[in-house]
Amino acid sequence: MSSKYLTALQQGLSPEQRLEQIVQHGMCIGCGLCESIATSAKVQMQVLLSGFDYPVAKAALDHAAMDKITAVCPGTRVEGLPAALVDDGTQQDDVWGAWRSMYYVHSAEPDVRHQAATGGQLTALALYLLEEKRVDFILHAKAHSEHPSFGEATISRNRADVLQASGSRYGPTATLKNALEVLQMAEQAGERFAFIGTPCDVSALRNLARQDPRVDELCQYMLTMVCGGFMAPAGLKTFVGSMGIIFSDITNLRYRGYGCPGPTTITTKDGSEHSISYLDFWGEDDSKWQLPTRCKVCPDGIGDAADIAAADTWDGGAPTQHEIDTDLGRNAAVVRTARGEQLMEQAIDAGYLVRGAALTPADMNRFQPHQEAKKRAAWARFEGRKAAKAVVPDTKGLRIKRLWQQNSSEQNAAQTEGAKLRAQRAIELDTKLK
């Protein structure tokens, strides 16, 4: 059910206008679940002039269908770990949420560790789950076959599939575009699977689980990465253009991998490759980040609702050049659930992962200062968006109001006013364009 705020905001709108409003107000992350819920005959993910992959109503929707979409959309609802997955072994941190253990970890296979993003934790877990027959397939993302800067949903059933899809995607990725079809396929075949996606994707899948019991029955694990957001398409085009590359000439874009974190490598139609270091692409802080609105106000970049979250471990949030040149790659494992803990132990015992020193939430704040800052700012930013009559997600179990209460009144006021002004400008611009 929608929050009272969202219900009032959408009062009098048609179902199609309700969907459009979520997109126009910047809360759509492009996961694609709405297309699966409504069917592609009524809602389709389309690449718009802005470069984003967003849902577009292709036929009349009714309010019941739109209510289902709103109930699962991570732009309108984000919750923490389900209460059933929290037990006496679970610790709690205001920023990092529910956790059972935290430690350094990396793939035990040097080639996987080198090829995959940073230490290869999620790749190694996918390999373990398939090769030890813990699941039948992995639903995750790979580079898009038509839009090289995008990701797209894929199903991996063997090592070759997993390795082909390894490496982070920092572009629009509709990982859940066929979610209901995947559930139906798994149910009919008597199969079980694991899911690897962004924290937003995990939120959407947890939302769907409250509507469809097949999710909890068939999806054995939900794994994620601690996510700083993805590059807005316009920002990426500008950056690529500054390198003298025509965006439409790109045939392959690897954001990271083959190193720690590895270069961003662009291949063009003539076969030439252009590599950019992580620091040149993302910068040593967040000053170069051009993020979608939803990423800027994200209340859960840390994967609150996942069984396991994998994170980078650079002090201050970015690697030094020395680390880029010498680090073989390692992740922080934030293990949140008992089944996640059991999975990690089994993968380590089976020789797929190597565990390092234990970590704490304080370490995670040091590695991910932008995540701590965003978590602490989320409530104030939502208040600003509400003042601008903009869509905000309904949240539960994310501790963002408690963190807001820990901030100074000056900090909160600045965040609220900034979010209000940005939302107002975005809505006004959209109105003029229409």
pLDDT reported for residue 1: 54
The model's pLDDT over 123-171, given as tens digits with 9 standing for 90+, comes to 999 999 999 999 999 999 999 999 999 999 999 999 999 999 998 889 9
The model's pLDDT over 281-305, given as tens digits with 9 standing for 90+, comes to 887 655 566 899 999 999 999 999 9
Q: Token pair for residue 337?
A: 């659930």
The dihedrals phi and psi of 385, each to the nearest 5 degrees, come to -65, -40
pLDDT reported for residue 284: 63
CA torsion angle for 223, 228, 233, 239 (degrees, to 10)? -130
pLDDT reported for residue 168: 87
The model's pLDDT over 317-373, given as tens digits with 9 standing for 90+, comes to 999 999 999 999 999 999 999 999 999 999 999 999 999 999 999 999 999 999 999
Residue 45 has pLDDT above 80, yes or no: yes
Q: CA-CA distance, 350 to 7, in Å (whole number)?
A: 50
Question: Which residues fall within 8 angstroms of residue 263, CB to CB, at 6 or more apart?
Answer: 256, 275, 276, 277, 278
Residue in this structure with the two tokens 């992962």, named with its chain if needed? 353
pLDDT reported for residue 161: 98
Q: Token pair for residue 408?
A: 């100074």
Question: Which residues fall within 8 angstroms of residue 410, CB to CB, at 6 or more apart?
Answer: none
Among residues 294, 283, 280, 302, the alpha carbon closest in space to that of 373 is found at 302
How much is the average pLDDT of 390-400? 97
| Mean predicted lDDT score pLDDT of the chain | 95
148 preceded by cis ω (within 30°)? no
How much is the average pLDDT of 215-227? 98
Residue 210, classified by CB atoms within 10 Å of its CB into exposed (0-12), middle (13-18) or buried (19+), is middle
The dihedrals phi and psi of 386, each to the nearest 5 degrees, come to -65, -40
Buried b (16+ CB within 10 A) or exposed e, 71-102: bbbbbbbbbbbeeebbeeebeebebbbbbbbb
Q: CA-CA distance, 140 to 174, in Å (whole number)?
A: 10
Cα–Cα distance list, 337 to 73, 76, 162, 247, 305 (Å): 23, 25, 24, 42, 9
Residue in this structure with the two tokens 């106000």, named with its chain if needed? 297
Query: Please, are residues 111 and 163 in contact by the beta-carbon 8 Å criterion?
Result: no
CA–centroid distance for 3 within its chain: 23
**DSSP letters along 352-383, please?**
SEEEEEE--HHHHHHH-HHHHHHHHHHHHHHH
**Amino acid making up residue 318:** A
Residue in this structure with the two tokens 């009559």, named with its chain if needed? 389
pLDDT reported for residue 428: 81
Q: Give the residues across from 332 on adjacent strands.
A: 104, 311
Q: CA-CA distance, 64 to 55, in Å (whole number)?
A: 17
Q: CA-CA distance, 125 to 190, in Å (whole number)?
A: 22
The model's pLDDT over 85-130, given as tens digits with 9 standing for 90+, comes to 999 999 999 999 999 999 999 999 999 999 998 899 999 999 999 9
Percent of the chain with pLDDT over 90: 90
Q: CA-CA distance, 324 to 321, in Å (whole number)?
A: 5
pLDDT reported for residue 431: 60
pLDDT reported for residue 401: 98
pLDDT reported for residue 280: 87
* Residue of 57 and 1 predicted with greater confidence: 57
Query: Please, are residues 368 and 401 in contact by the beta-carbon 8 Å criterion?
Result: no
pLDDT reported for residue 37: 97
Residue 62 has pLDDT above 90, yes or no: yes
